[in-house]
Each structure stands twice: as structure tokens, then as C-alpha cells.
Amino acid sequence: MNSNWPRWIFASVTQHFSLTGYKTFVEGEPRETWEEKDFIEVRMDGPYFVQLDVSSWEAMIEVNVLVQSAMDFTNLHKIHTMCGVVATAFAGNSIQVFKYGVNVGDDQTLLGCLQLLQDKRDRQLLVISHFGQLAPDKLLQQASVEGHFKITLDT
């Protein structure tokens, strides 16, 4: 297996979800959310690896995008609209994984494509979860959009 795969996958996922039209943060980076009331935060678990044969691996990841919206009593649908935009970034297209970075071997070439897993029997669903208002004194709502992806990689 290639020790760069986790980094390239993470960099490609965060790049893919930065194109949603909302202020985007990546989990772990400093964020000044008091200035941004409507934003998304991209989070990823994995990759989880399975060796398929002597030179092939399958990697699976879970992508969870936190959606936060300031409550707007003139537009009660705002957080649902934001979740729809984020869900669209999951659905209908794959995530291209590039060799992003500045290290040896980071030549920006395409490594492969993460495919969204969809199977009702295995509960591989694109899931939108609404958490509601954060606290009675805060006019902020949160939700998340989550999906699982896989990619086959060759050494």
C-alpha cells in the first residue's frame, strides 16, 4: 500500500466539497464561526483498507458534512436548502482523487475515483440528519449530510 493514499484521499475530498457555494471549513482547521453564521464543515473518517490481491487495495471512507445556518424567520427553508446543495455534491458524481501536495510523488495526477455507495440492504444511504436549534439562546440550527465512498487502488 502507498503511505500517501490517506493524505491524497483527504485532500481530494476536502477540495471536492469546497465547491458548494458556502463558507467551507475542514475539520481541525481554526474557524472563526462568530463571523460566519451559515457555513459547512467537511469531516472524513477513514480510509479503511482491504487488500484485494498482491497489488490491489480497496479503500472506504465516510464523509460527514456539518451544516450550520442562522435561523431566518423569513426563510424557514434555509437549512434545508443548504443541505440540498451539500447532498448534490455527494450524489450523481464521483470524487476524483488527485495526488495533491508538495512532497515527492505529489504530481497532481489522477489516482482514481471514489464512488458513492448506495445499497438499502447494507444501509449504505446518503443521509441528511437535522439536529435543530443548538440552544434556546442561540438562533442557530445544525444538520449533517453523510455518505460512504469506496475506491480501488493499485500499487
Least confident stretch, 43-47, 78-82, 84-88, 119-123: 119-123
Specify the CATH number of the domain 5-154. 3.30.2000.20
Nearest to 133 by CA among 64, 68, 37: 68
CB 35 within 8 A of CB 43: no
- Backbone phi, then psi, for 12, in 5-degree steps? -70, -40
pLDDT of 4: 96
Kindly give the pairing relationship between strand 39-53 and strand 23-26: parallel
Please state whether the peptide bond connecting residue 47 to the residue before it is cis, i.e. omega within 30 degrees of 0. Answer: yes
Question: In the block, which residue shows the cell 493499485?
Answer: 154
Task: Tell me the C-alpha distance between 11 and 110, whole Å.
Answer: 12
User: What pLDDT, on a 0 to 100 scale, did the predictor assign at position 91?
Assistant: 84
pLDDT of residue 145: 97
Q: Distance between CA 78 and CA 32 in Å, rounded? A: 21
100, 119 contact by CB (below 8 A): no
Query: For 97-139, how does the pLDDT look when each residue is reduced to its tens digit (9 = 90+)?
Result: 999 999 988 999 999 999 999 988 877 899 999 999 988 888 9
What pLDDT digit, counting tens, does each position of 40-75 carry?
Answer: 999 999 999 999 999 999 999 999 999 999 998 899
Boundaries of every domain in the chain: 5-154
Which contiguous run of DSSP H or E holds residue 78?
helix 78-90
The three grid cell numbers given for residue 147, joined into one nine-digit string: 455518505
Question: What integer is the mean pLDDT of 6-14?
Answer: 96
